[in-house]
Amino acid sequence: MKTFSVVITDEIHQTLLDHLIREDEQEDLCFATYVPSNGDNRNTGILSQLILPEEDERNVHGNVGFMPNYFERVLKIACERKEGIAFLHSHPSSGWQGMSEDDIIAETRLSPSVMAATGFPLLGLTLGTDGAWSGRFWIKDDREKRKYNRNWCETVRVIGKKLSITYNDYLLQPSFDKAKQLRTISAWGNKTQEDLSRLKIGIVGLGSVGSIVAEILARTGISNFTLIDFDSVEEKNLDRLTNIFKDDIGRAKVLAVADGIRRSATAPKVKINCCEYSICEKQGFETALDCDILFSCVDRPWPRQVLNFISYAHLIPVIDGGILVRTNKKNTSIIGAEWKAQTVGYKRACLECLGQYKTENAALEISGKLDDPEYIKGLDKSKFLDAHENVFPFSSHLASMEVLQMLTLLLLLRALMM
For each of the chain's 418 residues, which pLDDT tens digit applies?
Answer: 899 999 999 999 999 999 999 988 889 999 999 999 999 999 999 999 999 999 899 888 767 889 999 999 999 999 999 999 999 999 999 999 999 999 999 999 999 999 999 999 999 999 999 999 999 999 999 888 889 999 999 999 999 999 999 999 999 998 888 888 888 888 889 999 999 999 999 999 999 999 999 999 999 999 999 999 999 999 988 888 888 999 999 999 999 999 999 999 999 999 999 999 999 999 999 999 999 999 999 989 999 999 999 999 999 999 999 887 777 877 777 787 788 899 999 999 999 999 898 998 899 888 887 766 655 455 555 554 444 456 888 889 999 999 999 999 998 654 444 4
Q: Are residues 143 and 239 in the same domain?
A: no
Question: What integer pLDDT is reported at residue 55 of this predicted model?
Answer: 87
Q: Are residues 143 and 21 in the same domain?
A: yes
Closest residue by Cα to residue 120 from 93, 85, 153, 147: 85
Cα 172 from Cα 199, distance rounded (Å): 10
Question: What integer pLDDT is reported at residue 18 of this predicted model?
Answer: 96
State which of 132, 167, 202 marks the end of a domain.
167
Q: Are residues 263 and 123 in the same domain?
A: no
Contact of 120 with 4, CB cutoff 8 Å: no
Strands (E), 179-310: 200-204, 224-228, 271-275, 293-296
- The neighbouring-strand residues paired with 49 are 33
Look up the CATH number of the domain holding residue 384: 3.40.50.720
Q: pTM for the whole thing?
A: 0.93
Structural domain includes residue 177: no
Question: What integer pLDDT is reported at residue 179 of this predicted model?
Answer: 86
- The neighbouring-strand residues paired with 8 are 158
Q: Are residues 24 and 141 in the same domain?
A: yes
Return the SS3 of 296: strand
Return the SS3 of 325: strand
Contact of 48 with 35, CB cutoff 8 Å: yes
Cα 88 from Cα 133, distance rounded (Å): 10
Question: What integer pLDDT is reported at residue 380 of this predicted model?
Answer: 55
Q: Are residues 321 and 242 in the same domain?
A: yes
Please write down the HEC assignment for all residues of 105-161.
HHHHHHHHHHHHHHCCCEEEEEECCCCCEEEEEEEECCCCCCCEEEEECCEEEEECC
Question: What integer pLDDT is reported at residue 353 of this predicted model?
Answer: 93
Question: What integer pLDDT is reported at residue 417 of this predicted model?
Answer: 41
Q: Are residues 122 and 241 in the same domain?
A: no
DSSP structure string for 1-69:
--EEEEEEEHHHHHHHHHHHS-TT----EEEEEEEEEE-SSEEEEEEEEEE---TTSEEEESEEEE-HH
Q: Are residues 186 and 329 in the same domain?
A: yes
Q: Are residues 253 and 337 in the same domain?
A: yes
Q: Containing domain of residue 66, as a range?
A: 3-167
Q: Residue 19 — φ and ψ, nearest 5°?
A: -85, -45
Q: Are residues 277 and 145 in the same domain?
A: no
Half-sphere exposure of 141 (CA within 13 A, CB side): 9
Look up the CATH number of the domain holding residue 147: 3.40.140
Cα 409 from Cα 403, distance rounded (Å): 10
Q: Are residues 97 and 220 in the same domain?
A: no
Question: What integer pLDDT is reported at residue 414 of this predicted model?
Answer: 43
Cα 95 from Cα 332, distance rounded (Å): 59
Q: Are residues 136 and 10 in the same domain?
A: yes
Question: What integer pLDDT is reported at residue 368 of this predicted model?
Answer: 84
Q: Are residues 259 and 187 in the same domain?
A: yes
Reported for 51-55, long-range contacts at CB under 8 A and 24+ positions apart, including other chains, are 51/77, 52/15, 52/19, 53/29
Rg of the chain over Cα atoms, rounded to whole angstroms, equals: 24
Cα 127 from Cα 147, distance rounded (Å): 26
